[in-house]
Structure 1
Amino acid sequence: MPSQRDTDEAAIRQQIDKIIEGLRDKDLDSLGRCYTTDVVSFDVEPPLQHVGMDAKLRNWANVFAVFETVAYEIRDLTLTVGEDVAFGHAFGRLSGTLKNGTATNGMWVRITYGFQKTGDTWLIAHDQVSVPLDIRSGKGMVDLQP
């Protein structure tokens, strides 16, 4: 019989799968069910932080405004699961076809997740997305591969 930690980790991985599906389907309602209402997101777009569900979903709506089709890939998801909080990190890549018909492979970013368990449901309470910075040039290094 699986331990509670194994069951919780599987549930968290299912939430990440729901984000991938929600992006592919361009489904903001589905995406909204993956986050706490007071989620804090340190995304790649300004400002420095996006606070609350509406702000997080506006980020995804911005993606849908630019992309005709969306693909999202997560690699190397590593989780540490406690009783009612968990954290994880992974590499992610958003790609697809832009509204103008141009295909893009996107770029790999680093993702950190903070999860909170409410009842039996694990939700993302915090996420941070970043790209490495070349200090000398001051530019993000968007061509790195995991």
Structure 2
Amino acid sequence: MTTANGFRAQRDEAEIREQIGKVAEALRAKDIEALRHLYTEDVVSFDIEPPLQHIGIAAKLENWARVFRFFETLTYEIRDLTFTVGAEVAYGYAFARLHGTLPSGVTANGMWVRVTYGMRKVDGAWLIAHDQVSVPLEISSGKGVVDLEP
């Protein structure tokens, strides 16, 4: 028998997955304003680009704006998205790949990265309060390994 809390958790997870889907849609559309509504104002992002952390919605959106300038067209692919959901917070992880066409017309296949999401329920909506993107590191060389696939 599923309890009322079980139904709520299922509904919340579906809403969170929809929000992550909206991230992918906004990236394909290169829609900064749509992205703005998917993050908390105080989001902390440990993105793949320096510095070590980007704090606040303006910093996060500037990261995405740089991506939009780099790509003419782009796609954000997500695999193996998994979430654990509480009443007001949730965390999840997945593999993701940003790829597309450069302004020169060259296709950039991108690389698979690991992404972790920290979600917070704000005024009834699940928003990204934290994200972290990383690549595996080859310890002996100190270089990121960017040719792995899930």
Q: TM (normalized to structure 2)?
A: 0.95
d(CA) in 1 for partners of 2:41, 2:123? 15
2:79 to 75, 80, 96: 75
Q: Does 1:129 align with 2:144?
A: no
d(CA) in 2 for partners of 1:44, 1:132? 11
The equivalent of 1:61 in structure 2 is: 65
d(CA) in 2 for partners of 1:84, 1:37? 16
Task: Give the SS at the match of 2:72.
Answer: strand
Question: How far is 1:118 from its partner?
Answer: 1.1
Question: How far is 1:120 from its partner?
Answer: 1.6
Structure 1 segment 1-146 matched on structure 2, within 5 A: 3-146=7-150
Question: How far is 1:104 from its partner?
Answer: 1.2
Amino acid at match of 2:41: T
Please list the CA deviations of residues 96-143 of structure 1 after superposition, one character each: whole Å capped at 9, or x if unmatched.
001111101100000000000012200000000000000101110000
Q: Percent identity?
A: 63
Amino acid at match of 2:131: D
What is the RMSD computed on CA atoms of the aligned residues?
Answer: 1.0
Unaligned runs of 5+ in 1: none
Q: How many pairs align? A: 146
Please list the CA deviations of residues 56-84 of structure 1 after superposition, one character each: whole Å capped at 9, or x if unmatched.
00000000011000100000000000000
Amino acid at match of 1:116: R
Runs of 4 or more consecutive aligned structure 1 residues displaced over 3 Å after TM superposition:
none
Q: TM (normalized to structure 1)?
A: 0.98
d(CA) in 1 for partners of 2:103, 2:127? 31
